[in-house]
Structures are given as C-alpha cells and as structure tokens.
A and B are shown apart, each in its own frame.
Chain A
Amino acid sequence: MSDSLPFVFEIVALNVWINNRHILKDIRDLRIPRNSVFAIMGPSGSGKSTLLKVLNRLLELREGVKIEGEVKFNGENIFNIDPIRLRRKVGMVFQQPNPFYNMSIYDNIAYAVKANGIAKRKEEIDEIVKQSLIRANLYEEVKDNLKRQASSLSGGEQQRLVIARALALKPEVLLMDEPTSQIDVVGARKIEELIIELKKEITIILVSHNPQQAARVSDYVSLLYDGKLIEWGPSQRVFTYPKSELTEKYVAGRMG
C-alpha cells in the first residue's frame, strides 16, 4: 500500500447486490483525494451507507451480500487486504453514537487502544487517550473527570468520544455515516468544525443527506441516486454549477 498516491481510495468499478437486489450499480472511476473531506449525498435508499460500508469491508459481514469489482485503497485492491488491517486504517463513525455506554470516557478509548495492540504501558495509553480527546475537541469538556460513564455525556459529546476512539487507532481515513443526524444543532456544529480540523491529518468520507451540510464541510462531493453515481467533483463546482440535471434538482431541493 502506498500513501504517496494523490487518491486514498479509487473505485475502479463496483457492483453490489443484497439479497439479489442490485444496490450499487456500476460505480466507476470515483477517486477520493487524500486529506480532503469527500461528501456522499443522495436521497434515502440511494446506496450511500452501502458504499461507505464497502470501503472498510463491513458490508461483507452481512448475509446475502454479493460484491463485484475493484476498489483500491492506497493503490491496493481492498478485497486483497486483511479486513482487520483495513479497518485499523479506515475507521467508521455511525449515525447513532455508539460508545461503550457502561465504560468510562477513559476506558472507551483505552480499551480500543489495548485491543488493537496500539500501546501497552499505562503512561503511553494515558497519552493516547488525552491526545485523542484533544483531537476530537472533547478534552476540555471532560478532562476533570475521565472516569465518568460515557452514558452521562450528551449526544454530541458521545459522538465526539466515538471519533476520539477511532482516532486513537491512528486511521488514515474516517468514514462518517450521517454523524450529526441524531445530534442537536450545537453538537452538530461542533462535529462539523471537528471534520474541518481533522482533514489536516486524515481523509474524511462523509455520508450526508443534507446538501447544505455537505457544502459547508466538504472539498469534494458526489451524488448517488438509485444506486448510480450521478456526478462527483469539487464541491464549489458541483454546488454552483452541477453538470447533471438530477444533481441540480437534488441540491436545489427540487427533487420529489
């Protein structure tokens, strides 16, 4: 795998079926630039989350899934990479914050660090926990009591804890599946600010059904519709002058 390529992911060709239903249809030539925020937009059922789950091979855990094609991560076909190794490099944050509720803030991150063999010594783990919380813009809010249960945090804080946990594994890419849809406005704004901050170090692929959010945070954007890739390109161009009429209708809120 080479991290010197300009694109972290390249979907050469991709088809996905779930229970014999064709979900992703001949997606081709989609390249995700390194250290950028790449948004995937589309209406419900367009295949956004499915595409995201293909990228770190989570989809294959489901029954009835058939995948054909080639998807490259740092130039190597992901289907030839050990899934555990791939998921260490490609973290995922889901719509619903999913911290380990019965664990403390500290343990949420420390557990992930230990389980993945990132560090063993306590001082080392302490430092990783602290740095991860700092990078997730959560440290200042929780530093006085890291032993608090994760369940006592607000929705937005829980989501940032999940991000901190993912960052502790030093991923190259963070996949985010509508990470603000279950969070209040203030929490959502903090996550958006965090996304912008994180792209200095990693690549973020963000699924969002909200064009305004995609316009605020993304450098590149794509539209999926009915499992097909309609268009992708720099956000400024796509949001100002989309090439496809479907994209025009979607981003301008004229669809449906």
Chain B
Amino acid sequence: MSVEAKLIVENLSHHYPDEYTGESVHALEKINLQVFENEFVAIVGPSGCGKTTLLNIIAGLLPYREGQATVDGVSIEGPGPDRGVVFQEHAILPWRTVSRNIGHGLELQRVAKDEIRQRVQEYIDLVGLTGFEDRYPHELSGGMKQRVAVARTLCADPIIMLMDEPFAAVDAQTRITLQDELNRIVMATRKTVLFITHSVEEAAFLGDRCIVFSRRPGEIKKEIKIDIPREERVWKDMATNPKFTHARDEILRLVRQEVTTDDE
C-alpha cells in the first residue's frame, strides 16, 4: 500500500496583474510539492518569492488556473475548514473572547455547545492560556494572541495546518518560546503542517523537510531533510546539535545565493 500525501501540488504556476501598473507578475513557476501525514514542511525563501502566494492558493483564498492542488485527493476550490490557516497577525476577532475565538470554527460547523466547550478547554490548556478564557484579544500580548490563533486553527481539526510566518511579528524572546511550544503542540496533536517563513533558523528548527524557494518567479530551489526526532528539538540543545547546525548553514547558504544575486 502506497502512502498518499495529504497535500499534493502539481505543476502549479501563478501570474497576477500588478495592482498599479497592470503588468503581469510571474509569482510562481511549476511548483511540485507533497506533504505527508504528520509531516512538518517548512518553506523558506527571500521576501517576495511567492511563498505567501502559494499558501494563499492552498488555503483557497487565491484562485489559480495553472496546475493542480489537492488535499486528501480533493481539488482545492475556495477556502474550507479542512485547511486551517494561522496568519501572521491581527487575525483573531477582537469582539470574541479567547474561548469564543477558539471555538469559532466548531460554532460555524454547528457542533453542539457542550462539545465545543469541552474541546475549547482542551486546546486552551494545550496552548497554555488557562485562566484567560474570558479575556478579549486587546487584553493579551502579541505572543498570547498567536497562541489563540494556533488553538483556533487546531480546534477546528483541519487535515492540514497552514502557517504564514506566524511568529514574525512577535519579539525575539517570545518567538523562541512559541517555536518550542509549537514543537510540543505538533507532537501532541500529530498535525500535518505547512509552515512559511523567511527565517532560516526557524525553518531548520521546525521542519522535517525544508524547501528553499528561489527569487521571483518562485521555484523550488532545493529540498533539505532534517532528520532530528521531534522530541529532541528544543532550542537550548540546538547549538550543539550537528544535524541542526549543518541544516541551518546549508539553508542559509542557499537563501544567501538568492539574496546576493538580487543585489547585483
């Protein structure tokens, strides 16, 4: 029995008209990508390389014409709860408390109230927000808001969790904590994740596989396997982990090539 990938992207290219000049922008070129069950795939690349475009297409927020994208064999046509998205920032609703934000997906699917309450509490505990159930987002720190966003996505139980630079807007100290926590959460929930980032360290720390994008038009430049068991992925041990440092240096070298050719 062959293992079918959860997410399959085949020969996906994308062009869009520039908002001001109207010229056609070539964002993605023939992307082929597979994400398997329980796998954590990180996509890293210079800014403007089309990685967010790819995520928006997979999320169903951006229509595409060239190529194929399927989740569990179903062609992607518009957004759906099978693909949960954690956005960079400012995406949880200010008029809902922490628990009502987290339960929003289940509420939309008309799940029974008791079950929602139970599941929400489970995820609140998982992301470490116990005691903050009835707070509103404006009363939370940036890091806590992103925990809410992660819990909201997981609580709706998607087939794959898409993350678009979720920790880019929080301070460095919080980011490290959140990365450690995300590892623990992914371990606990065994979720399949596609993670977009421009941070080389983050990609190497979190990804089972790391895909490096070229400059625009975004193409897959190289794929790097990072064979570190998830239990061993803790920031304080990373500096002395040769597998990590090797992968990080390799990714950094690849990304640098893209950035420096840009400067010439």
- A and B: bona fide binding partners: no
> Which residues of B does A touch, CB under 8 Å?
none
Q: What residues make up the interface of A, taking CB atoms closer than 8 Å to B?
A: none
